[in-house]
Amino acid sequence: MTPSLLRAAGELLYGPRWQAELAREIGRARSLVARMATGENAVTADTWALVLAALKKRRVDISAFLKSNGG
């Protein structure tokens, strides 16, 4: 995963102030997420797997909300 892909996923999940929220969601330090977002640290495969899991959970949550609210 590239830093730009991490940023895109983070912003999609949490908006412009995504780093702290994503860090909390995936159990990583915010400073590490920030370094991954700039490319200073590599985005590891296990981190990417956690980000994907967060995206999939959000998709399920949105789908359930829409189904129960006429969407």
Question: pLDDT tens, 38-61?
Answer: 999 999 999 999 999 999 999 999
Region 27-45: what's the mean pLDDT? 97
Residue 9: the pLDDT is 97
> b/e per residue, 9-21, with b = 16+ CB within 10 A?
bbeebbeeebbeb
CA distance 26 to 67: 27
Say if residue 1's pLDDT is above 90.
no
The rounded percent of the chain whose pLDDT value lies above 90 is: 96
Say if residue 71's pLDDT is above 80.
no
